[in-house]
Chains A and B, each alone.
Chain A
């Protein structure tokens, strides 16, 4: 009798899901502590890009060139810090693809841009018509291609027969990016917008049936962000050997912002993790994971800052091996963030790792 009673209790326990953990505090921390300030910062820097384009197109003085480089670099830096937020406002209206068409290993952007130049396509010359065109030609990755040459020199504003066209086109991309950045920031600021959806996970919420599902969306974007940096942004540049390396494959390396971008991607992911204050959600034996993560991220930033900039045509001064070391560390970081943190927090991993088929 007693045994069968125990049997019933056990079977009931087996079918009842564990009391769902509440992750709203961590999500709220991420929104208030990272996402809102970071998207606002990007809106601010992207908002200054059109003016910098205009100035360098009016007069390629050294001061204007430097100001333009600084404005663009800040835009790329602040974009790199939010590009991993692959949910909600950044996905509306194809915004992320319209900000950066990545990856593009087959050079789709370059080929489409050539066609625009060959046809003197005037629909590329204003933000209003540009935004209706292919995402590959309206993004900051397209800006990199038209405003800089392959040796990282600024060509925007230089006197040649495409000067006017390039200036108008670059101005349209800059305005397009500024508008998108501003819309992303505004949507994240809106207390009744997507952030409310994230913070009200539950039976009444069509998108997130629990705060855990909302947390999984946020957290998996961070781990995917690490995969993107390692597998998509670094490994293609490293190639199979130093002799076959292609440093130009690092995004935004054409404008000498390759390291700015890589460093910003990782700084953004780290800051987002830290902002969540995950200690209350981690079993005590996993608390050290956060310290280890901090240590690894700092190591990576130190290594990146020791690379010889800009990375473009070659990896000089031991940069190849240093970047390779970063890719190895990123494997550890990914493992730590998934097996060492997501698992212990009870978060499900990827889409196909869920209840399988």
Chain B
């Protein structure tokens, strides 16, 4: 989760040696759901002792299969976990030892993975009457998992609360999101407040991905007390932007929620697509530079903060551009052009990795500098989100 990136600075990063990780992979390779790649062994020999930066992303392979790929900071696929359907977001535990990969909406499965242990992934299935929206976040002590879900008969969003402290997961309750179509979720740095972007779009699993309320949709960003579930604050953009579905999110170093939108109004409109929310202030939208106006297809796919939380990246895969923002001032910093580039994750201090639907993994040192394509594993299409897992 993007949230964890800004939070990590406070927790201190747990450093895993590459050998430790790959040794664990070797064990997992015997598990049916997990397969190591041919490169893993050679990288094991070569980079032993390095502190690894590891990433994960959902993918589709050219043979039609889906899974989660584990990548190193060279963009090399070290391991794969097969999924029964298309995945989407990934929540990482605060100690970085576990993650949960969610099905893409309206999926009903999530997979709990302990990548450093010789353990089979554990499948989690949504409750009857609920499906996952593709995102979730751990509590700050790592004992709870909050997953955004659709209560589709009541047409309301909920946060399913799961106890994941043991080896099995139990759903222990749910919290209303005070909106429809909750999509991304983050946890404030102090662990007390859940931030949810309610996309506002009504869907029903029997009608697949059909959007049922575009004329009346009311997206919002809500701040909810994580312990009691009380609503702390709820914000909407100006009524003229009610068709801007607020979906993906990252928290910056100050805890402001940067939210990327997907516009459901006329394609000839050129609305703002990125907005900043806090509990106490009116939301602000950023100004997309004229050169990109109309070139983003009104669609932001991912939002991520760098490790320091002072630069925000927002990808627009349909337009093929990723835009960078100064988190402090809201100023536009620069852009990168990567066809179908969508997944964005913080890499080293200040830098980002961007994954794309054509298999590419690119390294961006600075917003305006030339990107470097690190890898392009044949047959892979990287899904919307790239997540730093260590």
Q: Which residue of B lies closest to A353 (CB)?
A: B318
Q: Which of A105-113, A160-168, A281-289 contacts B (4 or more CB under 8 A)?
A: A105-113
Per-residue A-contact encoding for B333-362, CB less than 8 Å = 1, 0 else: 000001111100000000000001111100
Q: Which of A70-78, A87-95, A145-153 contacts B (4 or more CB under 8 A)?
A: A87-95
Q: Which of B37-45, B137-145, B272-280, B281-289 contacts A (4 or more CB under 8 A)?
A: B37-45
Q: Are A106 and B374 in contact (CB under 8 A)?
A: yes
Partner of A103, one of B105, B370, B376, B382: B376
Task: State how many angstroms separate the Cβ of B259 from the closest Cβ of chain A.
Answer: 15
Partner of A136, one of B39, B104, B299: B39
Q: Which residues of A contact B62 (CB under 8 A)?
A: 86-88, 91, 217
Q: Which residues of B contact A133 (CB under 8 A)?
A: 42
Task: State how many angstroms separate the Cβ of A347 from the closest Cβ of chain B.
Answer: 14
Q: Which residues of B contact A291 (CB under 8 A)?
A: none
Task: State how many angstroms separate the Cβ of B320 from the closest Cβ of chain A.
Answer: 8
Per-residue B-contact encoding for A222-245, CB less than 8 Å = 1, 0 else: 011001100110011001100000
Partner of B339, one of A96, A137, A227, A239: A227
Partner of A115, one of B46, B247, B301: B46
In Å, the complex CA distance between A112 and B104 comes to 38
Partner of B317, one of A112, A232, A350: A350
**A69 close to B (CB within 8 Å):** no
Q: Which residues of B contact A62 (CB under 8 A)?
A: none
Q: Which residue of A lies closest to B88 (CB)?
A: A357
Chain B contact-residue range equals 35 or more
Q: Which residue of B lies closest to A132 (CB)?
A: B38
Q: Which residues of A contact B45 (CB under 8 A)?
A: 115
Query: Which interface residue of B45, B134, B357, B377 has the most chain A CB atoms within 10 A?
Result: B357
List B192-227 residues whose CB lies under 8 Å from chain A: 209
List B363-380 residues whose CB lies under 8 Å from chain A: 369-379
In Å, the complex CA distance between A355 and B369 comes to 31
In Å, the complex CA distance between A115 and B369 comes to 33
For chain A, what secondary structure do more than half of its interface residues adopt (helix, strand, loop), or is it mixed? helix
Q: Are B370 and A235 in contact (CB under 8 A)?
A: yes
Q: Are B372 and A236 in contact (CB under 8 A)?
A: yes
Partner of B301, one of A137, A217, A352, A355: A352
Q: Are A228 and B63 in contact (CB under 8 A)?
A: no
Q: Are B339 and A223 in contact (CB under 8 A)?
A: yes
Q: Are A91 and B379 in contact (CB under 8 A)?
A: yes
Q: Which residues of A contact B384 (CB under 8 A)?
A: 352, 356-357
Q: Which residues of B contact A137 (CB under 8 A)?
A: 42
Q: Are B373 and A352 in contact (CB under 8 A)?
A: no
Q: Are B357 and A351 in contact (CB under 8 A)?
A: yes
Q: Are A134 and B38 in contact (CB under 8 A)?
A: yes
Task: State how many angstroms separate the Cβ of A53 from the closest Cβ of chain B.
Answer: 24
In Å, the complex CA distance between A273 and B299 comes to 30
In Å, the complex CA distance between A136 and B379 comes to 17
**B76 close to A (CB within 8 Å):** yes
List A120-134 residues whose CB lies under 8 Å from chain B: 133-134
Q: Are A232 and B340 in contact (CB under 8 A)?
A: no
**A41 close to B (CB within 8 Å):** no
Per-residue A-contact encoding for B81-124, CB less than 8 Å = 1, 0 else: 00000001000000000000000110000000000000000000
Task: State how many angstroms separate the Cβ of B347 from the closest Cβ of chain A.
Answer: 13
Q: Are B356 and A134 in contact (CB under 8 A)?
A: no
Q: Which residues of A contact B376 (CB under 8 A)?
A: 102-103, 228, 232
Q: Which residues of B contact A228 (CB under 8 A)?
A: 376
Q: Which residues of A contact B379 (CB under 8 A)?
A: 86-87, 91
Known: A112-B46, A356-B299. 14 other contacts (CB 8 A): A86-B378, A94-B378, A106-B374, A108-B74, A134-B41, A136-B42, A220-B358, A232-B376, A240-B369, A334-B339, A352-B317, A352-B342, A356-B301, A357-B88
Residues of A within 8 A of B (CB): 86-88, 90-91, 94, 96-97, 102-103, 105-106, 108, 111-112, 115, 133-137, 206-207, 217, 220, 223-224, 227-228, 231-232, 235-236, 239-240, 334, 338, 349-353, 355-357
The 4 closest A-B pairs by CB, nearest first: A350-B340, A351-B357, A134-B42, A352-B317
Residues of B within 8 A of A (CB): 38-39, 41-43, 45-46, 60, 62-64, 74, 76, 88, 104-105, 134, 183, 209, 247, 262, 297, 299, 301, 317-318, 338-342, 356-360, 369-379, 381-384
What are some 11 contacts across the A-B interface (CB < 8 A)? A91-B379, A102-B376, A103-B373, A106-B374, A111-B46, A137-B42, A227-B360, A228-B376, A338-B339, A350-B317, A350-B358
